[in-house]
A = this chain, B = another copy of it.
Amino acid sequence: MIDAAGLRVMKAIADAGSFTGAANALGFTQPAISQMVRRLEQRTGTILVERYGRQVRLTEAGEVLARHAVGVLAALDAAEEEISAIAGLRAGRVRLMAFPSSSASLVPKALAILKDRHPDVTIHFTEAEPPESLAALRAGDCDVAVAFAYEGMDLGEIEEDLTALVTHKLLDDEVRLAVPAGHPLATQGVAHMADFSSEEWIAGCPRCRGHLLSLAGHAGFAPNVAFETEDYVAVLGLVRAGLGVALVPDLILRAAKPEHVVALPLEPASRRQILAVTTPDLQRVPAVHAAIGALCEAAGVPVPQVEEPMAPAPV
Q: Per a CB cutoff under 8 Å, which of B7, B41, B138, B310 touches A46?
A: B310
Q: Per a CB cutoff under 8 Å, which of B61, B76, B87 touches A87?
A: B61
B79 near A282: Cβ-Cβ < 8 Å? no
- Nearest first, the 5 closest Cβ-Cβ pairs linking A and B are A45-B312, A68-B79, A50-B281, A46-B87, A57-B140
A61 near B47: Cβ-Cβ < 8 Å? no
Please give the distance in Å from A68's CB to the nearest CB on chain B.
4
Q: Is A93's CB within 8 Å of the partner chain B?
A: yes
A74 to B72, CA, bound (A): 9
B65 near A72: Cβ-Cβ < 8 Å? no
Q: Per a CB cutoff under 8 Å, which of B42, B52, B71, B313 touches A75?
A: B71
Q: Is A86's CB within 8 Å of the partner chain B?
A: yes
Please give the distance in Å from A284's CB to the nearest CB on chain B.
5
Give the size category of A's interface with B.
35 or more
Q: Per a CB cutoff under 8 Å, which of B2, B51, B83, B286 touches A64?
A: B83
Q: Is A255's CB within 8 Å of the partner chain B?
A: no
Please give the distance in Å from A209's CB to the nearest CB on chain B.
30
Q: Which of A264-307 contact B (CB under 8 A)?
A: 279, 281-282, 284-287
Decide: A53 near B282, CB < 8 A? Known: A5-B3, A86-B61: no
Q: Which of A126-170 contact B (CB under 8 A)?
A: 138, 140, 164
Q: Which residues of B contact A287 (CB under 8 A)?
A: 60
Decide: A61 near B285, CB < 8 A? Known: A72-B72, A311-B42: yes
Residue from A43, A57, A72, A92 with most neighbouring chain B CB atoms (10 Å): A72
Q: Is A220's CB within 8 Å of the partner chain B?
A: no
A37 to B86, CA, bound (A): 17
A312 to B284, CA, bound (A): 45
Q: Per a CB cutoff under 8 Å, which of B4, B60, B82, B313 touches A86?
A: B60
Residue-wise interface mask of A (1-39) relative to B, using a CB-CB cutoff of 8 A (1 in contact, 0 not):
111110100000000000000000000000000000000
B61 near A68: Cβ-Cβ < 8 Å? no
B72 near A75: Cβ-Cβ < 8 Å? yes
Q: Per a CB cutoff under 8 Å, which of B45, B75, B312 touches A68?
A: B75
Q: Per a CB cutoff under 8 Å, which of B281, B285, B312 touches A51?
A: B281
Chain B residue at minimum C-beta to C-beta distance from A286: B46
Q: Is A44's CB within 8 Å of the partner chain B?
A: yes
Decide: A61 near B83, CB < 8 A? Known: A75-B72, A164-B53, A281-B52: yes
A7 near B93: Cβ-Cβ < 8 Å? no
Decide: A76 near B72, CB < 8 A? Known: A53-B164, A281-B51, A310-B41: yes
